[in-house]
Amino acid sequence: MTEITAQTLQAVREAVAEAVGIDVDEAEPDATVLGELGAESIDLLDILFRIERKVGVKIQAAEIAELLQGELSDEEFEDADGRITPAGREQLARALPQLDPSTLPATLTADQVMTLFTVRNLAEMATARAAITADAS
């Protein structure tokens, strides 16, 4: 991925902290947004709106899901019971380089996947989106 600037990382940390109601120091880059920081799905929309205001790039929640799932179909990513398949686990390791696949729960479900997304992952998305926007200009 594109290297994150300190300015973008700080803006994302501030957006997360403001939306979740925590101190910016608690929004550490490797903290999981929907896990460790206690954000809920509705907070994610607020976070993305704040990132847009601070960084000038729009990220939609669906784009996070697309990043996590990659080019795998729903059936390739998760089984009929909602558990992430081996191919899905490999995709998660590509999308979230901080993950050690061997430490993931044996029965990781699709609902749990978003809890793996970190502040740094959001900053990486914002940085990548800014680069695409700049190239298009």
Closest CA to 101 of 80, 87, 82: 87
pLDDT in tens, 3-58: 888 999 999 999 999 999 999 999 999 999 999 999 999 999 999 999 999 999 99
What are the CA-CA distances from residue 7 to residues 60, 70, 119 (Å)?
21, 27, 13
Phi first, then psi: what are they for 59, rounded to 5°?
-125, 130
Domain residue ranges of the chain, discontinuous segments joined by +: 6-128
Q: Residue 83 has which token pair?
A: 């558990």
Q: What angle do CA 18, 95, 30 make, to 5 degrees?
A: 40
pLDDT in tens, 108-122: 998 899 899 999 999
Q: What is the DSSP letter of 110?
A: H
Q: Could you tell me the pLDDT band of residue 136, with boundaries at 50, 70 and 90? A: low
Q: Which CATH number fits domain 6-128: 1.10.150.130, 1.10.1200.10, 3.30.300.30, 3.30.930.10?
A: 1.10.1200.10
What are the CA-CA distances from residue 20 to residues 24, 43, 44, 106, 125 (Å)?
10, 7, 9, 30, 19
